[in-house]
């Protein structure tokens, strides 16, 4: 029997995904859409920063290891951009990574990521993140 994951939102959450893998982007987008989120995708850190600056987001998922501007550098840049906004705001950024060695965890948190999720992502982990990070949007 297929599990149904349903959220009752006060407003539809806007979620941005950055991952260099087309398969991972498609899976993440599909799972988030099943949860009632509006989803935009970026193929790398540079596109993530462009989209972040041109939109209003409730949550960001970012692959740690991408070519060019990686997830760590993109997150650190976003955190600096947030400080310059009036009023300053903090959008939760969730790291997506295949390896969760202690050194990598430390680097993620130092860059400003709020949480780390191991790939492959499960629907249960995703739902937990949505409930924890977007509780203010739940009805």
**Tens-place pLDDT, residues 9-37:** 999 999 999 999 999 999 999 999 999 99
For the chain, what are the domain ranges?
14-133
pTM of the model: 0.93
Parallel, antiparallel, or unpaired: how do β-strands 38-42 and 14-18 relate? Answer: parallel
- pLDDT tens digit sequence for 69-98: 999 999 999 999 999 888 888 999 999 998
Residue 54 makes CB contacts below 8 A (sequence gap 6+) with none
User: How do the residues of the chain divide into helix, strand and coil, expressed in percent and rounded to 5?
Assistant: 45, 20, 35
**Host H or E run for residue 82:** helix 71-84
Pairing of strands 59-63, 93-97: parallel
Q: What's the CA gap between 50 and 69, in Å, rounded?
A: 12
* CATH class of the domain whose range is 14-133: alpha beta
Query: Hey, what are 123's tokens?
Result: 């629907």
- What's the distance, Cα to Cα, between the start and end of the chain in Å? 27
Between 46-50, 77-81, 115-119, the lowest mean confidence (pLDDT) is in 115-119
């Amino acid at each position: 029997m297929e599990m149904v994951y349903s959220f009752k939102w006060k407003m539809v959450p806007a979620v941005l995904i950055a991952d260099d893998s087309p398969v991972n982007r498609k899976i993440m987008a599909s799972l988030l859409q099943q949860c009632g989120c509006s989803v935009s995708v970026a193929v790398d850190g540079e596109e993530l920063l462009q989209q972040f600056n041109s939109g209003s987001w409730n949550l960001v998922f970012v692959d740690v290891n991408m070519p060019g501007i990686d997830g760590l550098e993109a997150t650190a840049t976003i955190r600096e951009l947030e400080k310059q906004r009036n009023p300053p705001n903090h959008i939760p950024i969730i790291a997506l990574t295949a390896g969760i060695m202690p050194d990598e965890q430390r680097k993620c948190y130092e860059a400003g990521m709020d949480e780390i999720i191991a790939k492959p992502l499960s629907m249960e982990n995703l739902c937990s993140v949505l409930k924890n990070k977007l509780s203010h949007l739940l009805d």
